[in-house]
Amino acid sequence: MSLAPVEADFAIALSAIRNSAPLIHNMTNIVVANVTANALLAIGASPAMVENTEEAAELAAVAGAVVVNLGTLSPEWAAAMRLATQRAQAAKRPWLLDPVAVGALGYRTRLANDLLQYRPAIIRGNASEISALAGDATGGKGVDSTLSSNAAIEAAQALARRSGAVVVISGAIDYVTDGTRLIGISNGHPIMTRVTGMGCTASAIGGAYLAVSEDPFLAAVLAMVTMGVVGEAASAKAAAPGSFQTAFIDALYQIEAGDLARGMRLS
Amino acid sequence: MSLAPVEADFAIALSAIRNSAPLIHNMTNIVVANVTANALLAIGASPAMVENTEEAAELAAVAGAVVVNLGTLSPEWAAAMRLATQRAQAAKRPWLLDPVAVGALGYRTRLANDLLQYRPAIIRGNASEISALAGDATGGKGVDSTLSSNAAIEAAQALARRSGAVVVISGAIDYVTDGTRLIGISNGHPIMTRVTGMGCTASAIGGAYLAVSEDPFLAAVLAMVTMGVVGEAASAKAAAPGSFQTAFIDALYQIEAGDLARGMRLS
Amino acid sequence: MSLAPVEADFAIALSAIRNSAPLIHNMTNIVVANVTANALLAIGASPAMVENTEEAAELAAVAGAVVVNLGTLSPEWAAAMRLATQRAQAAKRPWLLDPVAVGALGYRTRLANDLLQYRPAIIRGNASEISALAGDATGGKGVDSTLSSNAAIEAAQALARRSGAVVVISGAIDYVTDGTRLIGISNGHPIMTRVTGMGCTASAIGGAYLAVSEDPFLAAVLAMVTMGVVGEAASAKAAAPGSFQTAFIDALYQIEAGDLARGMRLS
CATH number 3.40.1190.20 is the correct assignment for the domain at A7-263: yes
Percentage, residues of chain A above pLDDT 70: 97
Among A74, A196, A246, the residue with its CB nearest the CB of C52 is A74
On whether the CB atoms of residues C27 and C240 are closer than 8 A, the answer is: no
Those residues with Cβ within 8 angstroms of residue B85's Cβ, 6 or more apart along the chain or in another chain? B60, B66, B68, B95, B115, B118, B120
Q: Flag whether the ipTM exceeds 0.90.
A: yes
Whether chain A has a CB inside 8 Å of the CB on B249: the answer is no
Nearest CA in chain A to C42: A194
State the Cα angle at B236 between B230 and B242, rounded to 5°: 80
Mean pLDDT of C10-24: 98
Start-end of H helices in chain A: 7-20, 33-43, 56-60, 75-90, 106-115, 127-134, 153-163, 198-212, 216-235, 241-254, 257-263
Between helix A241-254 and helix A216-235 the angle, nearest 10°, is 130
On whether the CB atoms of residues C46 and C22 are closer than 8 A, the answer is: yes
Percentage, residues of chain C above pLDDT 90: 93
Across all residues in chain B, what is the average pLDDT?
95
Mean pLDDT of C83-105: 97
State the Cα angle at A160 between A103 and A123, rounded to 5°: 55
Q: Chains touching chain C at 3 or more Cβ pairs under 8 angstroms?
A: A, B
Each residue's pLDDT tens digit, A61-115: 999 999 999 999 999 999 999 999 999 999 999 999 999 999 999 999 999 999 9
- Contact flag A76-B73 (C-beta cutoff 8 Å): no
Look at residue A139 in the predicted model and tell me its pLDDT: 53
Is 90 exceeded by the pLDDT of residue A58? yes
Look at residue C2 in the predicted model and tell me its pLDDT: 78
Each residue's pLDDT tens digit, B112-168: 999 999 999 999 999 999 999 999 755 566 777 778 888 899 999 999 999 999 999
Mean pLDDT of C80-94: 98
Look at residue A149 in the predicted model and tell me its pLDDT: 80
On whether the CB atoms of residues B55 and B95 are closer than 8 A, the answer is: no
Across all residues in chain C, what is the average pLDDT?
95
C-alpha–C-alpha distance, residues A27 and C136, integer Å: 43
On whether the CB atoms of residues B97 and B68 are closer than 8 A, the answer is: yes
Is 60 exceeded by the pLDDT of residue C171? yes
C-alpha–C-alpha distance, residues B223 and B233, integer Å: 15
Mean pLDDT of C7-17: 98
C-alpha–C-alpha distance, residues C227 and C87, integer Å: 29
Closest CA to C41 of C64, C25, C61, C18: C18
- Contact flag B253-C246 (C-beta cutoff 8 Å): no
Look at residue B141 in the predicted model and tell me its pLDDT: 67
- Contact flag C246-B247 (C-beta cutoff 8 Å): no
Look at residue A167 in the predicted model and tell me its pLDDT: 98
- The answer for B89, left when phi > 0, alpha when psi is -120 to 50, beta otherwise, is alpha
Nearest CA in chain C to A74: C52
Each residue's pLDDT tens digit, B231-246: 999 999 999 999 999 9
Q: Chains touching chain A at 3 or more Cβ pairs under 8 angstroms?
A: B, C
Q: Quick one: pLDDT band at residue B28, thresholds 50, 70, 90?
A: very high
- Contact flag A34-B34 (C-beta cutoff 8 Å): yes
Look at residue A140 in the predicted model and tell me its pLDDT: 61
Residue ranges of domains in chain B: 7-263
Mean pLDDT of C28-47: 98
C-alpha–C-alpha distance, residues C253 and A221, integer Å: 31
Those residues with Cβ within 8 angstroms of residue B15's Cβ, 6 or more apart along the chain or in another chain? none
Each residue's pLDDT tens digit, B136-151: 755 566 777 778 888 8
Among B33, B58, B249, the residue with its CB nearest the CB of C31 is B33
To test the contact with chain A by mutation, choose from B35, B36, B38, B72 the residue with the greatest count of A C-beta atoms within 10 A, namely: B72
C-alpha–C-alpha distance, residues C27 and A72, integer Å: 10
Each residue's pLDDT tens digit, C120-165: 999 999 999 999 999 975 556 667 777 888 889 999 999 999 999 9
Q: Go through B52-80 and write b for each residue having 16 or more CB atoms within 10 A of its CB, e for each that does not.
A: bbbbbbbbbbbbbbbbbbbbbbbebbbeb
C-alpha–C-alpha distance, residues A143 and A72, integer Å: 11
Percentage, residues of chain B above pLDDT 90: 93
Give the type of residue at B69: N
- Contact flag C41-A107 (C-beta cutoff 8 Å): no
Question: Considering the domain C14-259, what is its CATH architecture?
Answer: 3-Layer(aba) Sandwich (3.40)
Look at residue A141 in the predicted model and tell me its pLDDT: 67
Is 80 exceeded by the pLDDT of residue B87? yes
Percentage, residues of chain C above pLDDT 70: 97
C-alpha–C-alpha distance, residues A249 and B242, integer Å: 5
Nearest CA in chain A to C249: A242
C-alpha–C-alpha distance, residues C78 and A183, integer Å: 45
